[in-house]
Structure 1
Amino acid sequence: MPTPLRASPTSTAPSPLPQRILVVENSRTHARLIGEAIEQKLNLPVLYAATLAEARTALERHPDWFMVVTSLVLADGSHDEVVEFFLSRQLPTVVVSGVYDDGLREQVLRRQVVDYVLKNTPGSIDYLVWLVQRLERNRRIAALVVDDSRSARQHAAALLSMYGFRVIEAADGEAGLAMLDANPDIRLAIVDQEMPGMKGHEFTRRLRARHARDHLAIIGISGTSDGSLVPRFLKSGANDFLHKPFSREEFFCRVSQNIDQLELIGTLQDLATRDFLTGLPNRRHFLAECHALLPNTLGRQQSVTAAIIDIDHFKHINDTYGHEAGDVALKAVAQAIARHSGTQDLVARFGGEEFCALVPYLGESESVEYFESLRAQIEALEVDVGGQTLRMTVSIGVFRTRFPGQTLNHLLSEADRRLYLAKAGGRNRVVSSG
């Protein structure tokens, strides 16, 4: 059987998304409160303007604008002129107001404004920070709308687009399933009940069988008054349900709460599976992934290479530079390992100053070259620790096999034995089974 092609460890990074936020407010104090909260909590760049003229100058000076937070009370523009000024430039716009006015609020929200926020209410700054963060993250999420009514589908899609999502539409359940298969970055599905061929709750059931709750949020929608529909959707796997007609604000709140839940689950999973210091997978996750990969690869008589990587004289680094410098060293080595790894490789921090790797499909000479290259990259690192330059080396024990039935414990034990030989042989070297 031919050896599968290995994926390159490097890939072309996507173009960075615009990050700059414009805060337009005639009160310099309130503008600073908003801007500094965004900068401190989200690390996004904020610029300020007190008038439409200043806003125009700022927008012309910098091309990479993400969104605008603006007051409606400016010296050189009416409410309508302020809103039109930013919407005509296709900038996501959040309006803040010092006075609660139902008529004004309804008038503003009839436009493509993201939200209308009262500036002087308790928690308004925190809400604005959350809103900016939510919109910034939404740009990396795809959402699916499944509805046979073109107008209803386009309405939901337009709302999701306003909130930053990349939207994919489908007119029925079968098309929706195909779209999900073709777009693995879909994390949200809005599903109507009344569709030809496959009802919404049945589509939801089939969808949930393919995608777990920690990967995809499903919101059912319907205009029917059938009281049994909500539990049918929820029991079929939906996270939430909306009755038509729904308001823009209710739609946004429901969508945002469900996406927040997905991200919270993802955070908890990261805490359970990733090393808190280096960001690499932890020992438990590494072992679980290896137990899944190993029999599948060896069963096809393909090679697997195990390696244990240990930072040389790590205690000396801690004793000489301090434990904070030791943490910096661990992070630098972890980043080098992550950059060197291909998409099929499994790597982890195994504990202390020790790292582990399981790499499929390397030939005999390739396995040595692979880890020799990693050793050289780490040796070349120059790490700044309190104004001093820290350099370090690693010793690597490598064991390669292609025999079915070999256990992970055997591979790691053999790699560990070769690591001992690398240490005994003078460190800063790779010792391999060949």
Structure 2
Amino acid sequence: MPTPLRAPAAPTGNIPLPQRILVVENSRTHARLIGEAIEQKLALPVAYAATLTEARTMLEQQQDWFMVVTSLVLADGSHDEVVEFFLSRELPTVVVSGVYDEAMRQQILRRQIVDYVLKNTPGSIDYLVWLVQRLERNRRIAALIVDDSRSTRAHAAALLAMYGFRVLEAADGEAGLAVLDANPDIRLAIVDQEMPGMKGHEFTRRLRARHARDHLAIIGISGTSDASLVPRFLKSGANDFLHKPFSREEFFCRVSQNIDQLELIGTLQDLATRDFLTGLPNRRHFLSECHALLPNTLGRQQAVTAAIVDIDHFKHINDTYGHEAGDLALKAVAQTIAQHAGAQDLIARFGGEEFCALVPYLGEGEAVEYFEDLRQRIEALQVDVGGKVLRMTVSIGLFRTRFPGQTLNHLLTEADRRLYLAKAGGRNRVVSTG
């Protein structure tokens, strides 16, 4: 009988996630190929062992192990002993083998082994690197299973947990919607068709109305042979569909492909909306967000403060220390602005050495105090540039209003005029009147 799959314990709270990877391999050359590829591409620490005895010592000496990549051919252990050794320690384990043996592959995949990968095949190292990256990222993702069958939920939950996901469950559509509302970090939903009260495709339609494709992937599942069900799910907003019973490998490939696509969309959105150097929102995104926030805030006669922050003598920094130092200065200022900003504030790198902010709800005195504190934080920065300490200051122009109908262009023009007064008045200051 196959060993029942069990869900490993998930990390809780703000405890740092383990990062260290153990490569167990009697071929030092192959071990280094795997380990160096992981370290170079993923920046995760890798340690090496050639035997189970070495692996046992290393596991006992260190506690921050994330996963194991192990060969089945070791000097001090049979195939079964190698597998049982790591499974008993509840470490996500990937087996690599130099020989394709279908019976051995099937036997191993009936255990709680993440994957079985052939050595020395084209792309095997790249696949292992992708697999490690996928498992590491999955630990920050929640997944929801919506199915009225307790056994199906348990099976799918164990698979998702093995791949690192935090798993939540619901027995019907209404419960599923409630779980999603309470857990905004859910990025994947596995949805069965045959459920009481609300069919899977109808649940998918309602779910998609609340969550866009760039935030949530939905995979429909069903044991029915109804050919119309797949297009019905897809037209209702599902990303994919699986027929029950599904194999472990197909399940993992479909899930991973959909999560990869979500991350790719996120990357493309970041490229479109974020400044590449500093990581702050870019000018285009800032203007778009401001146009949405401004009429809502001013329409309720709530105050809004626009500010332009400009690094003083930035050309002198580049000329004296070099453009790399200028980039470090921009990053340091951007990080300080990001740390200073509240959840409701809109900030951006506006261009060059200039940054912009739109901050709602501050009183007149509060606005000046808020940006004076930011100015002081930037003045206190000490940026290491090749062993030398770079210090800098900023000038800030603000304009605060609470009158409905004021345009963003007017706010920014007035803030820019006050920035000019701050520069003319000697720099390193905040000017809010003029």
Q: Does TM, scored on the shorter chain, surpass 0.5?
A: yes
Gap regions ≥5 residues in structure 1 = 1-12
Deviating 4+ runs (over 6 angstroms): none
- CA distance in structure 2 between the aligned counterparts of 1:177 and 1:362, rounded to whole angstroms: 36
Instruction: Check whether the contact 1:172–1:196 (CA below 8 A) recurs between aligned residues.
Output: yes
1:32 aligns with 2:32: yes
Partner of 1:54: 54
- CA distance in structure 2 between the aligned counterparts of 1:392 and 1:52, rounded to whole angstroms: 55
Deviation at 1:14, TM superposition (A): 2.8
Q: How does 1:337-376 map to 2 (within 5 A)?
A: 337-376=337-376
1:16 aligns with 2:16: yes
- CA distance in structure 1 between the aligned counterparts of 2:373 and 2:43, rounded to whole angstroms: 35
- CA distance in structure 1 between the aligned counterparts of 2:43 and 2:369, rounded to whole angstroms: 40
- CA distance in structure 2 between the aligned counterparts of 1:221 and 1:53, rounded to whole angstroms: 44
- CA distance in structure 2 between the aligned counterparts of 1:62 and 1:425, rounded to whole angstroms: 58
Partner of 2:426: 426
Deviation at 1:15, TM superposition (A): 2.6
Q: How does 1:331-342 map to 2 (within 5 A)?
A: 331-342=331-342
Q: Which moved more, 1:234-243 or 1:399-408?
A: 399-408
- CA distance in structure 2 between the aligned counterparts of 1:83 and 1:402, rounded to whole angstroms: 67
- CA distance in structure 1 between the aligned counterparts of 2:419 and 2:14, rounded to whole angstroms: 38
Partner of 2:214: 214
Q: How does 1:309-328 map to 2 (within 5 A)?
A: 309-328=309-328
Deviation at 1:319, TM superposition (A): 1.1
Query: Deviations for 1:232-259, whole angstroms, at most 9, x for unmatched residues?
Result: 1111111000011110000000000000
Q: TM-score, normalised by structure 2?
A: 0.96
- CA distance in structure 2 between the aligned counterparts of 1:106 and 1:258, rounded to whole angstroms: 25
Q: Which moved more, 1:122-131 or 1:300-309?
A: 300-309
Partner of 1:9: none
Deviation at 1:361, TM superposition (A): 1.3
Partner of 1:78: 78
Instruction: Check whether the contact 1:146–1:191 (CA below 8 A) recurs between aligned residues.
Output: yes
Q: How does 1:378-393 map to 2 (within 5 A)?
A: 378-393=378-393
Partner of 2:402: 402
Query: Deviations for 1:272-308, whole angstroms, at most 9, x for unmatched residues?
Result: 0000111000001001111111111112221111100
1:190 aligns with 2:190: yes
SS at match of 1:218: strand
- CA distance in structure 2 between the aligned counterparts of 1:433 and 1:289, rounded to whole angstroms: 26
- CA distance in structure 2 between the aligned counterparts of 1:62 and 1:30, rounded to whole angstroms: 23
Partner of 1:10: none
1:256 aligns with 2:253: no
Partner of 1:202: 202
Q: How does 1:149-298 map to 2 (within 5 A)?
A: 149-298=149-298
Deviation at 1:389, TM superposition (A): 1.4
Amino acid at match of 2:71: S
Deviation at 1:339, TM superposition (A): 0.8
Amino acid at match of 1:235: K
- CA distance in structure 2 between the aligned counterparts of 1:394 and 1:15, rounded to whole angstroms: 37
SS at match of 1:350: strand
Instruction: Check whether the contact 1:349–1:355 (CA below 8 A) recurs between aligned residues.
Output: yes
SS at match of 1:376: helix
Q: Which moved more, 1:372-381 or 1:402-411?
A: 402-411
Partner of 1:416: 416
Instruction: Check whether the contact 1:393–1:428 (CA below 8 A) recurs between aligned residues.
Output: yes
Aligned residues: 422
SS at match of 2:167: strand
Q: Which moved more, 1:46-55 or 1:384-393?
A: 384-393
- CA distance in structure 2 between the aligned counterparts of 1:297 and 1:397, rounded to whole angstroms: 21
Query: Deviations for 1:312-351, whole angstroms, at most 9, x for unmatched residues?
Result: 0111111111111111111111011111111111100000
Query: Deviations for 1:391-418, whole angstroms, at most 9, x for unmatched residues?
Result: 1110000111112221111111111111
Instruction: Check whether the contact 1:190–1:218 (CA below 8 A) recurs between aligned residues.
Output: yes
- CA distance in structure 2 between the aligned counterparts of 1:306 and 1:391, rounded to whole angstroms: 26
Query: Deviations for 1:83-106, whole angstroms, at most 9, x for unmatched residues?
Result: 111111111000101110001101
Deviation at 1:387, TM superposition (A): 2.1
- Percent identity (aligned): 90
Instruction: Check whether the contact 1:400–1:433 (CA below 8 A) recurs between aligned residues.
Output: no
- CA distance in structure 2 between the aligned counterparts of 1:48 and 1:373, rounded to whole angstroms: 49
Amino acid at match of 1:145: I
- CA distance in structure 2 between the aligned counterparts of 1:363 and 1:235, rounded to whole angstroms: 49
- CA distance in structure 2 between the aligned counterparts of 1:430 and 1:15, rounded to whole angstroms: 40
- CA distance in structure 2 between the aligned counterparts of 1:430 and 1:292, rounded to whole angstroms: 27
SS at match of 1:384: strand
- CA distance in structure 1 between the aligned counterparts of 2:402 and 2:78, rounded to whole angstroms: 74
Partner of 2:132: 132
- CA distance in structure 2 between the aligned counterparts of 1:195 and 1:144, rounded to whole angstroms: 15
Partner of 1:93: 93
- CA distance in structure 2 between the aligned counterparts of 1:334 and 1:119, rounded to whole angstroms: 45
Amino acid at match of 2:350: F
Backbone CA RMSD of aligned residues: 1.0
Query: Deviations for 1:108-166, whole angstroms, at most 9, x for unmatched residues?
Result: 00000000000111110000000000000000000000000000111111100000000
Amino acid at match of 2:234: L
- CA distance in structure 2 between the aligned counterparts of 1:90 and 1:304, rounded to whole angstroms: 53
SS at match of 2:16: coil
- CA distance in structure 1 between the aligned counterparts of 2:87 and 2:368, rounded to whole angstroms: 58
Partner of 1:148: 148
Q: TM-score, normalised by structure 1?
A: 0.96
Partner of 2:104: 104
Give the structure, 1 or 2, with the largest relative contact order (CA under 8 Å, sep 6 or more).
1
SS at match of 1:343: coil
Deviation at 1:263, TM superposition (A): 0.3
- CA distance in structure 2 between the aligned counterparts of 1:21 and 1:363, rounded to whole angstroms: 52
